[in-house]
Structure 1
């Protein structure tokens, strides 16, 4: 009888696996949206990550300090600076020693741009605060999940529009003098999306963990298993 040689599955290299996870985490923390995902493979090697983000952040600060951010189409310029300088960095592998700075730099530039544009057109400050809180919650939820080795689905980042489309909508709304309505719609949409998806995912995870724990308890009665997984015991 001829038998096929048994092949031992390749064991992933620990160092390569650590780099893969590190890259995946940083890309998730960037919170890129559909526009970045569409163009990521079409910008060649991309721009250096941290220097490009720093230049974008400093350019936006300079525009604010010099009083350039007034009413009108000029309010689209900070958004275009972000698109031109930060979007091409998505093509990088994010394995540099300082590439861990990219997500906080992007968040800082995004939040600063939202605040400066909102103040320039006298948008409701509480609405700016709530929008930033919603985006910050999404960022926190993403970080916490990945540290538990739980990865948010890709569709969440697409549906969340990413930093680039959020800023484009805000910049266009300010230029067209409808920023308050854009901020309100964006806040409601993102708040519902991120809250419902986050709560649903964590509840599903908790139920899955409870089912696994109950399944491991071979001596538990069916009523005890039901009570552990649902919190309700079946009446005798």
Structure 2
């Protein structure tokens, strides 16, 4: 009976060791999942909170958001233009990554390497200028007399608000169509996560076509 009890105790100890010996990667996976969720929401401020300060791989996203913020000046462009700009910005971020799946999570010394298989829109090869330039030129030609009258009677700011307000829907509609039609490319992203107290931060993001 004593031998059986000793055996039972040994078995429970072994089970306990095995159960405790596994390394959970939930925190690391959660950080990477949050990265994609913040990206889709266009929330660069939150995205920056899960990256190290020297992470140069998010600089392009920060620059992109900064350039978009220039389009959100109601005093310059008017409310209609800003509303349409915001719709375009939301669509650009929401559609940037069409799908993603965590492939593996591996220890790398004190760090972790998280590999993600994703489909990402090829925004770099989209030409937005040619189409928007045509829209602007056509509008100016068709509304020249009206714009001149507004300029003379109400001033330059009123004329600019009229231009931006009238063209906003067409311009951003054309731009949104372009990003919707952009090709989604199979891409592999390699996230390096470093410890930050009890949390984890993304230090680098390597990207290559799958």
- Flag whether TM exceeds 0.5 (same fold): no
Structure with higher Rg: it is 2
User: For this structure pair, what is the TM-score category when the shorter chain's length is used for normalisation?
Assistant: 0.3 to 0.5
State the TM-score, normalizing by the size of structure 1: 0.30
State the TM-score, normalizing by the size of structure 2: 0.33
> By percentage of residues, which structure has more strand?
2
> By percentage of residues, which structure has more helix?
1
